[in-house]
Structure 1
Amino acid sequence: MEARSRRRRSKSERAKTSPRRRTIPWVGVIAVAAVVAVFAFFVVRGLEIGAPGVRIAVSGVGVHAPEGQPITYDTVPPVGGPHWPSPARWGLSTAQLPDERVVHNLEHGGIVIDHNAINGDDLAKLTSLLSTYPRDKYGEVKIVIQPYDRIAPGTIVLTAWGWRQILTRYDETVVRAFLDAHMNRCCEDVP
């Protein structure tokens, strides 16, 4: 009987140390780590799933072209890419600014709001965003609002680095959702 008991213990001990038995916990650990990594990726990326606007692939972070050199962009208005070394001033511009300049603002986490032939009430509502949004740690409201003749009349286009939202009329809910989701969420944490 003792021999039988030894054989049982021996089998049970061998099972505990078998390669298959040791592999199962590691597979579980790796699976849990993969789930955590995927979840963390989406949290770090700002939960872009369901974020306002359309995501557009773009490269050129930190790529500066000589001031004055024309750059061709894949989208109109551009949502990122190479740009001039100096960004535009934040705020309302009454003149259309060069794409190469405002793309630098996008790289700084800013939002560019382009409009073409919108009514005065809608322009006033857009401009009010400059006073209703909180300033960042540098004292800036990172929004540039400008007329833009390369979009259809009556259109408003919101851009952030790699994101675009096209509106055919002013919609405060959509505008604020875009600003909240994308402002200060890009590449360089600078004024």
Structure 2
Amino acid sequence: MANGTTGKKGTPKNAMKAARSSSVVSKKGTPWGTIIAVVAIVALAASVFTYYMVQSAPKRGQADREAAAASYAPNPQDPDPSKRIPGVVAQQYAGQAHVMPTERVAYDHSPPFGGPHDNYWAACNGVVYPNPVRNENMVHPLEHGAIWIAYNADQVKGDDLNLLKARVTGKTYMMMSPYPGLDKPISLQSWGHQLKLDKADDPRIDQFIAALRTNPNGVYPEIGASCDAMGPGQFDPNNPPPFDPSKPGPDAKPMDYKGSAGANTDMPGQQPSKPAGQ
């Protein structure tokens, strides 16, 4: 008798076991479905992470920009640090001269940064307006200590636009809107101050904001006034009055206008209006 025990047809038992094992492995096969699912999950996680890093980059970098501009915050020894920022234009304007929603003002600058304005202020609590907004409403928040970032939509797009939005979104006493016909890519306004720039990464943007937003040292007329939305029937940030690109007509109110009858009534969140001429 030959060494070893044989199975059917003389096949050694060890060979039979090996054949069975090979057959089982063949039947199980490679788990391609699981592998594909894992690869898809990893790829999705990587794409989400990449998207987050790209989209959040302006916001994450904004903290560094604000820290770099911190030396421009006002203090008793340096009440208006914007005087140290190259390119800032400053001009004195009397406050609290209001016009009616149907009236226009012949502003002396474009965009304007002071002068008569609508009694209803544009919401300035971190709002990024997607469309141009009426000048007379946008000037009023400047009287409350807000900063308005205007930009030329033909020149500022993509990453540059996101850099500007990072300075505004969700931040009190800040607002932003496109401005048709702007002669520079970017223009910053506070009451009595303006700075026009070419680049969204210019550090002077953050210096201007640090120096002038709610500066308490008399650089704007109505300290402590509100920036909150007034709502439908007054000023609705979801449906603001549109920008009028036409040249103001002969009935437009001049820069020394003292206010229209019925437009100077005091409103919640607004400092009391002074009589005309005071």
Q: Normalised by the size of structure 2, how large is the TM-score? A: 0.47
Q: Which residue of 1 aligns with 2:116?
A: 82
- Equivalent positions of 1:1-191 (< 5 A) are 43=77, 45-47=79-81, 49-51=83-85, 53-90=87-124, 91-116=127-152, 117=154, 118-131=156-169, 133=171, 141-152=172-183, 155-185=185-215, 186-188=220-222, 189-191=224-226
1:47–1:115 Cα change, 3 Å: closer
**Which sections of structure 2, spanning at least 5 residues, go unmatched?**
1-75, 227-278
Shift of 1:97: 0.6
Q: Which residue of 2 aligns with 1:14?
A: none
Instruction: Measure, in 1, the Cα distance between the counterparts of 2:175 and 2:170.
Output: 14
Structure holding more helix per residue: 1
1:59 counterpart SS class: coil
**Which sections of structure 1, spanning at least 5 residues, go unmatched?**
1-41, 134-140
| 1:19-68 deviations in Å (ceiling 9; x for gaps) | xxxxxxxxxxxxxxxxxxxxxxx848435542465233232301111122
What CA RMSD, in Å, does the superposition of the two structures yield over aligned residues? 2.1
Shift of 1:174: 1.2
Shift of 1:123: 1.1
Identity value in percent: 27
1:157 counterpart SS class: strand
| Residue identity opposite 1:151 in structure 2 | L
Instruction: Measure, in 1, the Cα distance between the counterparts of 2:78 and 2:214.
Output: 14
1:109–1:52 Cα change, 3 Å: farther
Shift of 1:172: 4.4
| Residue identity opposite 2:211 in structure 1 | A
1:70 counterpart SS class: coil
Count, aligned residues: 142
1:62 counterpart SS class: coil
Instruction: Measure, in 2, the Cα distance between the counterparts of 1:128 and 1:177.
Output: 15
1:58–1:68 Cα change, 3 Å: farther
Q: Normalised by the size of structure 1, how large is the TM-score? A: 0.67
Contact 1:115–1:148 under 8 Å retained in 2 = yes
Instruction: Measure, in 2, the Cα distance between the counterparts of 1:108 and 1:74.
Output: 20
Instruction: Measure, in 2, the Cα distance between the counterparts of 1:112 and 1:65.
Output: 20
| Residue identity opposite 1:124 in structure 2 | N
Q: Which residue of 1 aligns with 2:15?
A: none
- Runs of at least 4 residues off by over 6 Å: none
